[in-house]
Amino acid sequence: MTMADRESATHGSGAATGLWRIETLCCGVLHGVPESALMYMDASGRRVDLPVLVWLLRNGFETLLVDTGPSSPELARLRFHPELDQSGSRTLAEQLALHGLSVQDIDAVINTHLHWDHCGGNPLMQAPIYVQRRELEFASAPLPTQLVPYEASLVGMEAAWLASAAWMRVVEGPTVIRKGISVIPLPGHTPGSQGVLVDTADGRFCVTGDLIDSKENVEGQLVGWPDHVRGVPSGIHTDLEDWYASLRMLQSMDLSLIPAHDWEVLEIGAFG
């Protein structure tokens, strides 16, 4: 099936229902990540292990992915990410197989942003990949602090997001992707980060991307903060004002949040 055929087909029968089920896939574990990368200004010196999560969206007609995880431990090491562990059937292909699927069954992909651990599986896709224009622009010329996560410092190798550019469908601002699925800009972690709003039988959920790594980014506080001040930004960010504005917007909406690197999300497994 060509790309045009796939898009025509999925915009037909798949639009029959606006209710989806969200299933969490674990496509690896990042070992020994500094707590300060997750919680801005954390001074504990702790290191933690984080799941790398991908979300499978299904409504009985279509199958979408939110993010595609990392590539492989071998490529990760070559690309300056030595901490990736995908043992225990944690590649994207293996995780899909556990659900009776392959990459050929994916009708569309939504990238929350283009850091290496969220788009490493993009080159495997044979379906349109939805990305915010601002994210593509920033990934093309990132700040020095963002060179490694965007794999922009590679010599003689192509970043995963760039290798999948031909499949990308550029969106600007809030956009309906399918009936019951839409994206909204959530800048802060990166300038072009987006959240994915999903309507389910249990209400609306937002897959937040790395704006919110764990619930502690929403509920936590640092030593010395007043008790009423809650919400700690990710330690990896490009704009703190944007981060707080994005969080406040989400908190003003009637929805449930699904953080991007939270073990509790993996334990719950499915939403809706």
Model confidence over 230-248: pLDDT tens digits?
899 999 999 999 999 999 9
Tell me the pTM: 0.92
Percentage, residues of the chain above pLDDT 70: 94
pLDDT at 16: 52
Rounded distance between C-alpha atoms, residue 23 and residue 1, angstroms: 26
Q: Count CB neighbours of 99 within 10 A.
A: 13
109: nearest Cα among 95, 125, 123, 120 = 125
Amino acid letter for position 228: H
Residue 178 lies in a domain: yes
Residue 167 lies in a domain: yes
Residue 128 lies in a domain: yes
Residue 1 lies in a domain: no
- The CATH number for 256's domain is 3.60.15.10
pLDDT at 18: 87
Beta-bridge partner residues of 199: 204
Q: How many domains does the chain have?
A: 1
Residue 3 lies in a domain: no
Rounded distance between C-alpha atoms, residue 266 and residue 215, angstroms: 13
> What is the radius of gyration, based on Cα positions, of the chain?
18
φ/ψ (deg, to 5) at 94: -70, -40
pLDDT at 53: 98
Residue 148 lies in a domain: yes
pLDDT at 229: 83
Residues 91-113: tens digit of each pLDDT:
999 999 999 999 999 999 999 99
Q: Are 258 and 22 in contact (CB under 8 A)?
A: yes
Rounded distance between C-alpha atoms, residue 22 and residue 256, angstroms: 12
Residue 5 lies in a domain: no
Structural domain that includes position 222: 17-269
Residue 155 lies in a domain: yes
Instruction: Spell out, as residue ranges, where the chain has pLDDT lower than 70.
Output: 1-17
